[in-house]
Amino acid sequence: MKPAPLQYVRPASVAEAVDALEEHGGMARVLAGGQSLVPMLGMRLMRPSALVDINDLGAELGKIDGRGEETVIGALVRYSALETSPVIAERLPLLQEVVRHIGDRQVRNRGTIGGAVAQSDPTGEMPLVCLTLGARVVARSVRGERTIPIEEFFEGSYANALEPEELLVGLRFPLAPVHCRFFERGRKHNDFALLSIAVAGSPDADGRWSGVRIGLGGVNDTPVLAEAAAARLEGRTWDTATIAEAAELALEAADPPDDVRASAEYRNHLLPIQLRRVLTDLAGAEPWKT
Amino acid sequence: MEDLIEITVTVNGRAVHERVPARMHAADFLRGQLGLTGTHVGCEQGVCGMCTVLLDGEAVKSCLLLAPQLDGHEVATVESLAPDEGLAPLQQAFKEAHALQCGFCTPGFLMTATALARSGRTLSRDDIREELTGVLCRCTGYENIVTAVDRHINGEHVDV
């Protein structure tokens, strides 16, 4: 469990970091929290020529900013900071709830939101919540900065739209609905999720919902939005029949893997049942309170 | 021959200057290069928590840190806990609650609990259990470990 030989680069600024990534011509990897990357290096699943350690870039990448309706989270913001941030509690309560399901104390002390999104684990909680909340990914390289809508970001299992020379510098979240829920089922505590569900939306005074988004994790190569299910719920009050229809429609977004944790059949079995419960709970519930 | 990287790191209050390979993880550095074998190595993939140390006061798994990353930081290992004579209060609590059997996981629990106790948080027994999930024990189950940490943080209870 030792990584292959590699170079270690510790830039003092984002500009130096993207220079280093460019210099290595796509063969370097960014080291943020390292909670997924370092085990993969040890198992030799990856053999980068160099690691570009961005942990000194807290001044540029470690901030949580509420700017008007938008909330901007730097790539190096650690889970433990998200857990306790009053800005996140007020503006992105779903994100704060989800963070508590990630890893354990030691992992949350190191792991970063940027690292999790760049890792693009299809069962990962952070990719799922960023997708559900419609975040935009900000990436920088020597050629400049670009913003990628999260719906276009995830391209496959552990694959995404980042170029190898690009550094994920932050995530920009739009105003989030107050009503949201997160559900996760794994074989055991802190294990990879078999199924995870994140739902957000806003009911009006008559109980008609708008801005409904349903994110699903663990049922496809990437986290996915259950668009047909959300469309069924949009603009309506949620009675039992509507919720049941939406829960079945969510299967359209699922193409789950058969793996050591569960069969595809079992995941397909779980999805409508659990989504129905989550929606029923949300329909009858108060706005999120943490 | 691999490039060696010079680092200066404060370990248990003492500044050390060392040269380390880029790919060496911090647990191997502490054990192999500094001889601090109280930090145990179990899975080397961030699952078991045996190698937990404090990095700038926070509990982290040292097998998931590279030794070069320690440069400029402070590390505390289980060797930092006991005074010259006897045991630290947390260690004493482990002893009294019979919170160890083979003892392999104990450094991981002690360091995780040390950071937890210093956090000043109000913690229920369930909170403590949740905070300790990143360290595995294969001997005994966790009741006595949770009890030791609970007693250390919250004081003696009559029901155990």
Residue A193 has a pLDDT of 85
Looking at chain B, the number of H-run helices and the number of E-run strands are 5, 5
Inter-chain residue contact A43 with B45, CB threshold 8 Å? yes
Residue B141 has a pLDDT of 82
Residue A261 has a pLDDT of 87
Domains of chain B in start order, with CATH, are 4-80 (3.10.20.30), 89-154 (1.10.150.120)
Nearest to B45 among A1, A4, A109 (CB): A1
Give the angle subtended at the CA of B96 by the CAs of B93 and B97, to the nearest 5°.
85
The percentage of residues in chain B with a pLDDT greater than 90, rounded to a whole number, is 93
Query: What's the one-letter identity of residue A138?
Result: V
Check CB contact of A52 with chain B, cutoff 8 Å.
Answer: no
Inter-chain residue contact A105 with B112, CB threshold 8 Å? yes
Check CB contact of A110 with chain B, cutoff 8 Å.
Answer: yes
A136 and A149 Cβ atoms separated by less than 8 Å: yes
pLDDT digits (tens, 9 = 90+) for B48-62: 999 999 999 999 999
Provide the CATH number for the domain around residue A41.
3.30.43.10
The candidate with the shortest Cα–Cα distance to A213, out of A285, A129, A139, A103, is: A129
Strands, E assignment, A187-281 = 193-203, 209-217, 224-225
Number of domains chain A contains: 3
- Chain A residues in contact with B134 (beta carbon < 8 A): 103-107, 190
Nearest to B134 among A4, A41, A106 (CB): A106
Supply the DSSP symbol for A5.
P
- Chain A residues in contact with B45 (beta carbon < 8 A): 1, 39, 42-43
Inter-chain residue contact A31 with B2, CB threshold 8 Å? no
- Token digits for B88? 């630290």
pLDDT digits (tens, 9 = 90+) for A231-269: 999 999 999 999 999 999 999 999 998 988 899 999 999
Nearest to A107 among B23, B46, B131 (CB): B46
Kindly state whether residue A290 falls inside one of the protein's structural domains: no
CA A182 → CA A110, A162, A237, B84, distances in Å? 23, 27, 20, 49
Nearest to A7 among B22, B25, B28 (CB): B22
Chosen domain end from A173, A200, A220: A173
Give the integer Cα–Cα distance in Å for A288 and A178: 6
The candidate with the shortest Cα–Cα distance to B67, out of B15, B28, B17, is: B28
**Mean pLDDT, residues A137-161 taken together:** 97
Q: Nearest-CA residue of chain B relative to A50?
A: B22
The percentage of residues in chain A with a pLDDT greater than 90, rounded to a whole number, is 89
Give the integer Cα–Cα distance in Å for A221 and A197: 15
Q: Nearest-CA residue of chain B relative to A35?
A: B64
- Clarify whether residues A114 and A199 are in a common domain: no
Which residues between 44 and 83 in chain B have a beta carbon less than 8 angstroms from any beta carbon of chain A?
A: 44-46, 49, 52, 55, 58-61, 63-66, 68-69, 71
Q: What is the span of the domain harbouring residue A163?
A: 61-173
- Token digits for A42? 């040890």
Residue B160 has a pLDDT of 44
Residue A290 has a pLDDT of 39
| B89/chain A closest Cα distance in angstroms | 22
Q: Nearest-CA residue of chain B relative to A4?
A: B23
A132 and A200 Cβ atoms separated by less than 8 Å: yes
Residue A188 has a pLDDT of 77
Check CB contact of A7 with chain B, cutoff 8 Å.
Answer: yes
Q: Nearest-CA residue of chain B relative to A5?
A: B23
| ipTM score assigned to the predicted complex | 0.95
- Clarify whether residues A229 and A157 are in a common domain: no
- Clarify whether residues A71 and A118 are in a common domain: yes
- Clarify whether residues A66 and A169 are in a common domain: yes
Kindly state whether residue A243 falls inside one of the protein's structural domains: yes
**Comparison of pLDDT for A259 and A288, the residue scoring more:** A259
**Mean pLDDT, residues B128-150 taken together:** 95
- Token digits for B69? 């990353």
Confidence band for B1, pLDDT divided at 50, 70 and 90? low
Residue A284 has a pLDDT of 85
Please count the residues of chain A. 290
The candidate with the shortest Cα–Cα distance to B153, out of B93, B67, B69, is: B93
Chosen domain end from A144, A173, A202: A173
Nearest to B69 among A4, A53, A106 (CB): A53
Kindly state whether residue A1 falls inside one of the protein's structural domains: no
B100 and B147 Cβ atoms separated by less than 8 Å: no
Please spell the DSSP secondary structure of A237-270, one letter per residue.
---HHHHHHHHHHGGGG--PPP-SS--HHHHHHH
